[in-house]
């Protein structure tokens, strides 16, 4: 039996419990489930061999763990969605087709899409039109599978200086324009604290378009309670809104070794205590 029940679907990542459970991936899944976590994320799932994907999926089914996001497509060095290059767009569509096959193997409902860099030679509104058009083409591929891509706005101030998609209002506008159930927002609270703050009002404004949440405290991108974000208040707000979304733990750990992993768990226990 799990040690506790959380109010929300917090999702650890591979490596979060390597000191407590060892390096074996499946042992880490079991340890996470034993701690009361009910979901799991793996950004790099498409890079794992098919046999490993199938083993992970089988163990997650046995443990009743829900699969969170993996990264379907995203560039931090190239213009992909925002520009006019058709070859770049075809590469994105190829990634989306491949993501569907990964999702089938690991029972995933969500995949992350980062729409690349903005184009220094193209007016902003033309870029937005390009992004919307390519996302619609992605949706045409996705709709039969049921896989939903979630667009992740990233901060430009600390981590990703030239990304096209940076703000939650911008992501909301794009999703409203695409107007398809296979295109939603990945609201990463760490990134949005840096970009804009005003977290709860922005979550409320974007609510109908949010598919997945991710978290990390600021500064440092470590577990809740290590920075300036009041995660207990935010998690309580999500719970009161009836949140059933996965909340991905896309952050590092503030302390080394098993002590750090114990503190990671305790941070979520404290932040979930409402």
pLDDT of 37-78, one tens digit each? Answer: 999 999 999 999 999 999 999 999 999 999 999 999 999 999
pLDDT of residue 3: 87
Taken as a whole, the chain contains a residue count of 274
Q: Are 194 and 155 in contact (CB under 8 A)?
A: yes
What percent of the chain is modeled with pLDDT above 90? 99
Write out pLDDT tens, residues 184-213. 999 999 999 999 999 999 999 999 999 999
Question: Is the pLDDT assigned to residue 257 strictly greater than 80?
Answer: yes
C-alpha angle 161/238/273, rounded to 5°? 110
Domains in the chain with CATH codes:
9-271 (3.20.20.150)
Write out pLDDT tens, residues 9-41. 999 999 999 999 999 999 999 999 999 999 999
**Chain mean pLDDT for the chain:** 99
pTM of the model: 0.98
pLDDT of residue 78: 98
Question: Is the pLDDT assigned to residue 143 strictly greater than 90?
Answer: yes
What percent of the chain is modeled with pLDDT above 70? 100
Question: Is the pLDDT assigned to residue 2 strictly greater than 90?
Answer: no
Give the mean model confidence (pLDDT) for residues 250-268.
Answer: 99
pLDDT of residue 1: 74
Write out pLDDT tens, residues 75-102. 999 999 999 999 999 999 999 999 999 9
- CA dist 123 and 134 (Å) reads 17
């Amino acid at each position: 039996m799990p040690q506790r029940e959380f109010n929300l679907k917090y999702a650890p990542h591979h490596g979060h419990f390597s000191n407590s459970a060892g390096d074996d991936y499946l042992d880490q899944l079991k340890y996470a489930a034993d701690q009361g976590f009910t979901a799991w994320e793996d950004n790099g799932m498409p890079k794992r061999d098919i046999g490993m994907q199938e083993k992970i999926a089988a163990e997650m089914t046995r443990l009743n763990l829900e699969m969170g996001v993996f990264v379907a497509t995203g560039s931090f060095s190239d213009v992909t969605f925002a520009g006019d290059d058709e070859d770049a767009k075809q590469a994105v569509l190829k990634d989306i087709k491949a993501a569907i096959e990964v999702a089938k193997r690991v029972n995933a409902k969500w995949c992350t899409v980062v729409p690349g860099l903005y184009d220094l030679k193209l007016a902003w509104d033309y870029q937005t039109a390009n992004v919307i058009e390519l996302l619609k083409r992605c949706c045409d591929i996705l709709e039969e599978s049921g896989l939903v891509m979630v667009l992740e706005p990233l901060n430009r101030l600390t981590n990703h200086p030239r990304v096209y998609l940076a703000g939650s209002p911008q992501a909301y506008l794009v999703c409203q324009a695409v107007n398809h159930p296979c295109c939603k927002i990945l609201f990463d609270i760490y990134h949005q604290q840096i970009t804009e703050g005003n977290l709860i009002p922005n979550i409320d404004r974007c609510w109908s378009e949010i598919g997945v949440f991710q978290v990390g405290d600021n500064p440092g991108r470590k577990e809740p309670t290590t920075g300036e974000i009041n995660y207990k208040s935010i998690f309580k707000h999500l719970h009161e809104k009836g949140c059933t979304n996965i909340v991905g733990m896309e952050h590092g750990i503030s302390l080394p070794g098993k002590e750090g992993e114990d503190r990671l768990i305790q941070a979520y226990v404290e932040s979930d205590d409402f």
